[in-house]
Amino acid sequence: MNVPDAATILVVDDDADTRDMMTMWLHFEGYEVRVASNGQEALKALQQEVPAAMVVDLHMPVMDGAELRHRQQQQRPEIANVPFILVSAGHDTEQVGRDLGVTDAIPKPFDATRLLRVLDTVCHRHH
């Protein structure tokens, strides 16, 4: 298992446009980005490389963000402590985030400044 790279973010979202936009934006901010379109793909990516943080959509086919967090990440010691930032268009995003014990929960359309502040904090980066 690789040691986490302080600048690698795993973006997990079923919407290709959202993944592309976040990838371009995070690259511009100096992060390396890996992508997955659902929780199952995210687990495969996590077996290859442990990121500094994950930005995960809640509502996805195959395996949603809640299942990825609750049934997978929290049960696996090698990835249990990876910061998990939940993003969702649901009206109850922040409550769901508290229920899942995530690092932060940000409603969509997400506030890019807030997301960057959270990522910079968990990745120990300073602008």
Q: Evaluate whether residue 72 is within a structural domain.
A: yes
- Give the model confidence (pLDDT) of 16-60 as tens digits: 999 999 999 999 999 999 999 999 999 999 999 999 999 999 999
CA–CA separation, 6 and 52 (whole Å): 5
- Give the model confidence (pLDDT) of 66-98 as tens digits: 999 988 998 999 999 999 999 988 778 888 899
Q: Evaluate whether residue 36 is within a structural domain.
A: yes
DSSP symbols for 59-80? --SSS-HHHIIIIIGGG-TTTT
Q: Evaluate whether residue 22 is within a structural domain.
A: yes
Q: Evaluate whether residue 2 is within a structural domain.
A: no
pTM of the predicted model over 0.85: yes
Domain that holds residue 101: 8-122
Q: Evaluate whether residue 109 is within a structural domain.
A: yes
Total domains, the chain: 1
CA–CA separation, 120 and 98 (whole Å): 21
Task: Yes or no: say if 63 and 73 are a contact pair by the CB < 8 Å rule.
Answer: no
Q: Evaluate whether residue 3 is within a structural domain.
A: no
CATH number where 37 lies: 3.40.50.2300
Q: Evaluate whether residue 97 is within a structural domain.
A: yes
